[in-house]
């Protein structure tokens, strides 16, 4: 299996989001935006229920609200603030739905024989992501883990301290985080060349 990479080009990210909006695929848009803006693992994204995105008063979370997710892999609580991009994608999707049951999965696929909704599978999420990636010219190195890697990569490029990114991704060392987010030796060499004290 080939290692997936982050989406480094923000124009490609914007193009993917535009296609999803243009096709009114708001579920796909929310999944994509949530992944690249929170660093959640795909298993945690797919496990979300509407009850976690609607506060106690029945109001949809908005920018600046806190979301708490119990990570499936680590069993730790990951708390983070919803940003404007996630809030906008969430509202688009929520408003497009006729009815929302708090116990239903956010990223539902179809009803089962007993009438309950099931979340889409990891494979369906991978297929969705690859379809949009291919449409913007990203033809290799894309997978569901790309979302989490894109989150870390763009934090790093914005100057967020590596130690913070390491903590946000729950990695054991900065070296693992650098490798994980796809920072290459060539990029590190460019830093040496640009220093020129």
Residues annotated as catalytic are 41, 73, 145, 148, 171, 180
Q: How far apart are the C-alpha atoms of 117 and 99, rounded to whole Å? A: 13
The runs of H, that is alpha helices, within the chain are 10-22, 26-38, 42-46, 84-96, 122-135, 145-157, 162-169, 174-180, 185-195
Q: Which helix (H) or strand (E) holds 23?
A: none
* 105: three-class secondary structure by DSSP: strand
């Amino acid at each position: 299996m080939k290692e997936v990479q982050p989406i480094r080009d923000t124009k490609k990210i914007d193009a993917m989001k535009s296609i999803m909006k243009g096709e009114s695929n708001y579920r796909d848009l929310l999944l994509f935006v949530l992944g690249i803006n929170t660093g959640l693992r795909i298993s945690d994204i797919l496990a979300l229920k509407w009850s976690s995105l609607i506060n106690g008063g029945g109001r949809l979370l908005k920018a600046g609200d806190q979301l708490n997710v119990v990570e499936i892999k680590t069993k730790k609580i990951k708390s983070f603030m919803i940003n404007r991009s996630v809030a906008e994608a969430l509202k688009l999707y929520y408003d497009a739905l006729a009815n929302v049951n708090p116990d239903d999965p956010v990223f539902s696929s179809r009803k089962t024989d007993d009438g309950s909704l099931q979340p889409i599978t990891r494979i369906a999420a991978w297929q969705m992501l690859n379809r949009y990636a291919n449409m913007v010219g990203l033809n290799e190195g894309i997978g569901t883990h790309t979302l989490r890697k894109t989150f870390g990569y763009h934090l790093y490029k914005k100057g967020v301290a590596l130690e913070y990114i390491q903590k946000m991704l729950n990695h054991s060392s900065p070296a693992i985080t650098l490798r994980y987010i796809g920072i290459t030796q060539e990029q590190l060499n460019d830093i040496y060349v640009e220093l020129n004290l």
